[in-house]
Amino acid sequence: MLKFTAEHEWLKLDGDVATVGITQHAADQLGDLVFVELPEIGASFDKNGEAATVESVKAASDVYCPLAGEIVEINDAITADPSLVSSDPQGKGWFFKLKLSNVADADALLDEAAYKELIA
């Protein structure tokens, strides 16, 4: 199941673990990324906590934790090659995997149709 936030993060749910990244729209707005800083495995975040940082030639921006939970995996490939986020933001450019504190909280996030309406 794919969910979205108004802050342009996406989540792909698999049980109580969500893979999190930024949307194609956000990647397009940022332009070419030159730096990505990811959270540490084991770090816990509240909903909307600042979990990661991205820097492009245009600006620096925070990536927010869309729901409360604990980081269980990070994508080291994007720290080595930040362009993966620009070229495949909803695939190889994922940021981290989050073990959700409460899976039901995902129900309050946007579905794909609602997100597309938001950015239209």
Q: Tens-digit pLDDT profile for the chain (120 aa)? A: 799 999 999 999 999 999 999 999 999 999 899 999 999 999 999 999 999 999 998 889 999 999 999 999 999 999 999 999 999 999 999 999 999 999 999 999 999 999 999 999
Structure tokens that stand for 96 in this block: 């981290």
The CA distance from 115 to 98, in Å, is 21
Rg (CA), the chain: 13
Name residue, tokens 């073990």.
99
Q: Record the pTM.
A: 0.95
Helices and strands: H and E segment counts in the chain: 4, 9
Q: Give the other-Cβ count within 10 Å of 23's Cβ.
A: 18
Looking at residue 57, what is its pLDDT?
A: 87
